[in-house]
Each structure stands twice: as C-alpha cells, then as structure tokens.
C-alpha cells in the first residue's frame, strides 16, 4: 500500500516516520466515555505527504495530538517521529509580540541553539517561503497568506531542527482553510515546492477533497465517531482526467461515510 | 487506483508562482499610514490644554464674581503664588520627593508581591477559588479604611504608610495580571507546547509576554491606587516621626485655614498623578500595544 511510483520525489521510502497500529483513544470513563479513535492503522514513510480526509468528528485533531506527543493513546502501538513535532494550525498562531524572524527562531531558541546560528537558520527558512528581508516585520504588518508562510517556516524550524536534518514530521491541521481561494491556491503550490526542497514528512488534515488530491501522495479517508481508517488512495498524478476521476471517487466515498452516520 | 501514467509532482514554473506570490503579498499587505509627530502632538496635546485653560478661566470668573468668600475659594494667582514661594525655597521639592519616593517604593514592593500572587491565582485552580473573590473584593475596598488599623498596628511610622499603599495597589496589579492571563487566546499556550516550551519556559516565553497588555493596565491602575492610598495615609497619619509629604502639607493647610495652601496641595497631587501616568505608563503601554498592532486610539 505504501509503495509509490518512483517518479514521485520521495527522499527515503524505506524508513517509517510514524506508525500507528490499532490505535484507540477514549476520553473519560464509564457512561460518559467518548471514543475518538478506534483501531487506527497508519504507516507514514519518511518524506511522505499524506492527507487525512474526514468529516467532523473523525478524531483528526486527536490523531495529530497523539502523533505530536501531546496526548497518549488508550490502546495500540504508536511509533513517533524521532525529531520534535511541529504543528501548523488554521490560524497562523504567531506570537504577536515577536517579529516574524523571532517567531521562526523560537523553536530553535527553546532547543538551545546559539543566537547567531538560529538567526541564520531563520533567515534561511524565511527565504525558503519567499519572505526574504521581512524578518523584522510584526505579524500584524503581514497579510494572512504571509503570516501562514511565517508559520510554515516556524513549523519547519521545529521539524527539521537547527541543521535541517531533524527528521521531524510536519503536522498540518487545515492550515489553508481560513484563506481566500486565490491565496489558498498559490500557497498549496508553495507548500509542494517547500516540501520538495526540504523532504520533510507531512501529515495534512483537510475537509477539502480537491486540496487532498492536489497535495498528497496518499489520501486516507477517516470515518467519524469513532474515527478509523476506511479507505486509502495513492495519488500518482495531479492533473487531467484521472485526477478528476480520483476526486469523484473519493468524494462519493466520503459521502457514503457521512450518510452512514444518519442513523 | 491504476497507476498507468505517472506525472511528476513538480510545482508549476517556479518563476510564475514566485511572481504570483509577490503580487498577492503586495496586494494583501496591510497599509500603515503614519502621521508626522508634530501633527500627532497637536492632536493629543491641544484638547487637554484647551480644557485646562478653560477651567482656569471659569475658576477666575467664579472668584471674580465673589460668590464665595476668599477663605473658601482663592484666586488662581494666589494659589500659584503659594506654589511659587515654596518653589523658591525648595520646600516643594522636598515635599514632592517624600511623597513620590514613598509611592514608588510602595509600588515596586507591590509589584514584587502581586506578580507571583497573580500568576498563582491565574494558574492554580484551588488558589483561584480560595482567594480570587477576596482579591477582587479588596479592589473595591477603599484603602483609607486600612489607615486606622495600620496606625494601631504600626503607630505613626513609615510602616503605616507603606502598609496602606500596599493594601491599595496589590489587588489591582494581581487582578490585572489574572485578567491578562485569562484573555490569552488558547492557541498561544498550545503553540508554546508544540514548540517545546513547558513549565517555567512557557511562562517566560508565552504566558507573561502574552499577558503583558492586561498586566500593564493592572500596573497603571495599581499606581493610581497606591498614589491615592498614600495621600489618604499621609493626611490621616501625620506625626513627628513622618516626613512632610503632599498629604501632610495638605493637612497643614487645612489646619492653618490657608485655602491657597490647600488648593496648591490638590493641584500638586493632581500634577504628580497625571505626570507619572503620562511620562511613565503611557509610553510603555503605547510601545507594547503598537508592537502588537493594537494601538488604535492610544
């Protein structure tokens, strides 16, 4: 299932970055217990781009929290990425009292990197997301799309570590959902370019089938309440009739899953 | 899913996307218009100046109308002369120094006590339930109510004065910090956590800076309370062991039936209160809010 065609630029297919085997997560106990995840099996290879697709209540946030180490599973076996986790949210969540550059530096600062080294690395990452020379701007002086790119640079700083070899996983929780259509379109292209350039592993949560098909190498469909994996698709191409076909397949399956919750 | 054809996932021509992005950035970046400093100074400084001149004019007219006898309402010029004569002898400076140094030492001590207290109340649920209501209740207790008790405990000494100042300003500062922390968007601590900030590191890098605007307004209010409490304490608790501050000077004026002395004391108390606010707190607050894009009307 996880083998991909060689045309796709995958840095190291053999290594597993994240492994979830029979993962379950229940909140509370007794009559009030809520099962968010049940029997989730998912392997993500290093350097892979996986989209998790699901309606509300599919436990995607819970899943990301587990992978990030913010929460522990109730059952199952979980292999976490070796590097530090890094998150990107729907809102950029930049610290408003720090400049763009200092925001990117923060994860490096917390991991104890020297001032000059982290400044150099932050400049490098800002240039990667095409924000050269804007390190001294405050978040409120930037547009929504620019803020999201600063957040991407910060997440990359956390995921790749000081020298760019941290091997962390980028966890993205609908990062483009709050942007306007044009900006979202351009940023999706940017994300692919940055992913190509850095080779990080990406787990990307979205409600948007088109976004999933455009971005991912593999689309994983989750059911809701409790969340579990119901289907997976390999995406080997992005344009043309086959892409449309795939989009329609995934959409109809997603609708089936949603309809099954009617009762 | 049959993988018959395999197109590569390369992004479209890099130049085009770079240009698109640069265009979007140019269109979407918020524009900031900056007014020149002198126009801002006029806009900020002129209205209060006009108000001041008008109130002195009304005062002068009321005095000239002689509705009240001279010993109740002095002329503006007599009050000025009362200040001026003491300016020349230097007495004003020693009075001001006594009061301002007391207020500042009291305020700094209150900061040192109230900051950890506020952090505890904000972050520890049991502590909040236990003393949170008391803390906000104390804020509405006029600190002059502490003076009689303090006199009985400490006698007519500096300790009485400082106790009253602390009782007045600690609740404000602590409450300011608590509400500052309560207003932090929940996403920020979460971001700190995923970036690797735990415990004290999180307090230093996330919690305290995020709560700074609320904390500052608490400090501002705390300063106002400590100044007010100090005046109350100085007026009531006057004795040979205590230096003459503004409150004691006011009390002397009243004891001597010297209305121009009383008025000059009131004016000086006002001037110090407004001056510290304008020279110390306003610039700090302005800077903090400006850096976060929050300083619309400040």
> Residue B107: which CATH number?
1.10.3720.10
Q: Which residue of A has its CA nearest to B195?
A: A107
Q: Cβ separation of A95 and B209 shorter than 8 Å?
A: yes
Q: Is A232 on the interface with B (CB under 8 A)?
A: no
What's residue A240's pLDDT?
54
> Is the pTM here over 0.90, yes or no?
no
> Would you say residue B155 lies in a domain?
yes
A200: CB partners within 8 A, 6+ apart: A47, A156, A159, A160, A168, A169, A170
By residue count, chain A amounts to: 263
B60 CA to centre of own chain: 32
- Among chain B, residues having any CB pair with chain A shorter than 8 Å are 1, 3-12, 14, 17-18, 20-22, 24-25, 28-30, 32, 187-188, 190-191, 193-197, 201, 205-206, 209-210, 212, 288, 291-294
Mean pLDDT per 10-residue segment, chain A (263 residues): 39 68 79 79 84 79 82 81 77 87 86 84 84 84 85 84 70 86 82 82 86 84 80 70 73 79 65
What's residue A28's pLDDT?
77
- From edge to edge, which strands make up the β-sheet containing A169-173? A86-88, A169-173, A201-206, A49-53, A218-222, A229-234
* pLDDT, tens digit, 9 for 90 and up, residues B158-205: 888 999 999 989 999 999 899 988 888 888 888 888 887 777 788 888
pLDDT at B110 over 90: yes
Q: pLDDT grade, residue B1 (50/70/90)? A: very low
> Would you say residue B253 lies in a domain?
yes
Total domains, chain B: 1
> Would you say residue B178 lies in a domain?
yes
* pLDDT, tens digit, 9 for 90 and up, residues B14-53: 566 777 778 777 777 777 677 788 888 888 888 888 998 9
Mean pLDDT across B197-216: 84
Strand partners, A86: A170
Of residues B24, B190, B209, nearest to A183 (C-beta): B24
> Of the candidates B154, B161, B168, which has an alpha carbon nearest to the alpha carbon of residue B113?
B168
**Cα atoms found within 13 Å of the Cα of residue B100, Cβ hemisphere only:** 16
Q: What structural domains does chain A harbor?
A: 13-83+167-263 (3.40.50.300), 93-166 (no CATH)
Strand partners, A219: A51, A233
In sequence order, what DSSP letters do the residues of A240-261 get, joined into one string? HHHHHHHHHHHHHHHHHHHHTT
- CB atoms under 10 Å from CB of A144, counted, come to 18
> Would you say residue B92 lies in a domain?
yes
b/e per residue A42-56 (b: at least 16 CB within 10 A): bbbbbbbbbbbbbbe
Of residues A85, A106, A246, nearest to B1 (C-beta): A246
Q: Is A144 on the interface with B (CB under 8 A)?
A: yes
Q: Is the peptide bond before B41 cis (omega within 30 degrees of 0)?
A: no
ipTM, 2 decimals? 0.75
> Would you say residue B230 lies in a domain?
yes
- Boundaries of domain holding B211: 75-291
């Amino acid at each position: 299932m996880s083998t991909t065609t060689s045309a796709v630029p995958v840095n190291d297919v053999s290594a597993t970055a994240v492994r979830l085997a029979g993962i379950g997560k229940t909140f509370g106990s007794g009559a009030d217990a809520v099962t968010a995840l049940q029997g989730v099996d998912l392997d993500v290879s290093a350097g892979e781009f996986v989209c998790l697709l699901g309606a509300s209540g599919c436990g995607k946030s819970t899943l990301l929290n587990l992978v990030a180490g913010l929460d522990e599973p109730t059952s199952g076996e979980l292999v976490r990425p070796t590097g530090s986790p890094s998150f990107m949210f729907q809102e950029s969540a930049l610290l408003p009292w720090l400049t763009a550059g200092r925001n990117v530096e923060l994860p490096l600062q917390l991991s104890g990197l020297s001032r000059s080294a982290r400044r150099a690395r932050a400049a490098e990452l800002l240039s990667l997301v095409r924000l050269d020379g804007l390190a001294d701007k405050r978040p409120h002086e930037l547009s929504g799309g620019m803020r999201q790119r600063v957040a991407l640079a910060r997440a990359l700083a956390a995921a790749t570590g000081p020298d760019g070899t941290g091997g962390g996983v980028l966890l993205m929780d609908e990062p483009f959902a709050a942007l306007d259509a044009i900006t979202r379109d351009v940023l999706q292209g940017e994300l692919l370019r940055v992913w190509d350039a850095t080779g990080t592993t990406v787990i990307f949560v979205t409600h948007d089938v088109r976004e999933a098909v455009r971005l991912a190498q593999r689309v994983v469909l989750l059911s809701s309440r409790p969340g579990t994996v119901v289907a997976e698709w390999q995406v080997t191409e992005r344009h043309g009739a086959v892409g449309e076909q795939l989009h329609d397949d995934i959409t109809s399956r997603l609708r089936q899953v949603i309809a099954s919750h009617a009762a | 899913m049959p993988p018959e054809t395999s197109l590569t996932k390369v992004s479209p021509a890099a130049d085009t996307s770079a240009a698109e992005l640069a265009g979007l950035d140019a269109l979407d970046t918020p524009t900031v218009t900056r007014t020149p400093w002198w126009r801002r100074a006029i806009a900020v400084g002129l209205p209060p100046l006009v108000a001041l001149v008008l109130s002195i004019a009304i005062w002068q007219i009321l005095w000239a109308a002689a509705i009240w006898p001279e010993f109740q309402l002095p002329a503006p010029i007599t009050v000025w002369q009362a200040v001026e004569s003491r300016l020349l002898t230097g007495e004003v400076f020693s009075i001001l120094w006594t009061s301002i140094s007391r207020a500042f030492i009291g305020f700094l001590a209150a900061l040192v006590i109230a900051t950890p207290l506020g952090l505890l109340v904000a972050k520890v649920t049991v502590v909040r339930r236990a003393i949170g209501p008391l803390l906000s209740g104390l804020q509405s207790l006029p600190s002059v109510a502490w003076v009689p008790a303090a006199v009985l405990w400490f006698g007519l000494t500096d300790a009485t004065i400082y106790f009253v100042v602390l009782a007045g300003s600690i609740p404000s500062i602590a409450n300011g910090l608590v509400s500052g922390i309560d207003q932090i968007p929940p996403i920020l601590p979460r971001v700190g956590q995923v970036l690797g900030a735990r415990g004290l590191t999180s307090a230093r890098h996330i919690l305290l800076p995020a709560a700074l605007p609320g904390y500052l307004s608490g400090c501002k209010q705390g300063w106002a309370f400590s100044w007010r409490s100090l005046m109350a304490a100085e007026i009531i608790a006057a004795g040979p062991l205590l230096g003459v501050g503004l409150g004691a000077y006011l009390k002397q004026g009243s004891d001597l039936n010297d209305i121009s002395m009383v008025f000059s004391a009131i004016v000086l108390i006002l001037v110090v209160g407004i001056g510290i606010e304008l020279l110390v707190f306003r610039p700090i607050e302005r800077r903090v809010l400006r850096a976060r894009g929050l300083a619309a009307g400040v």
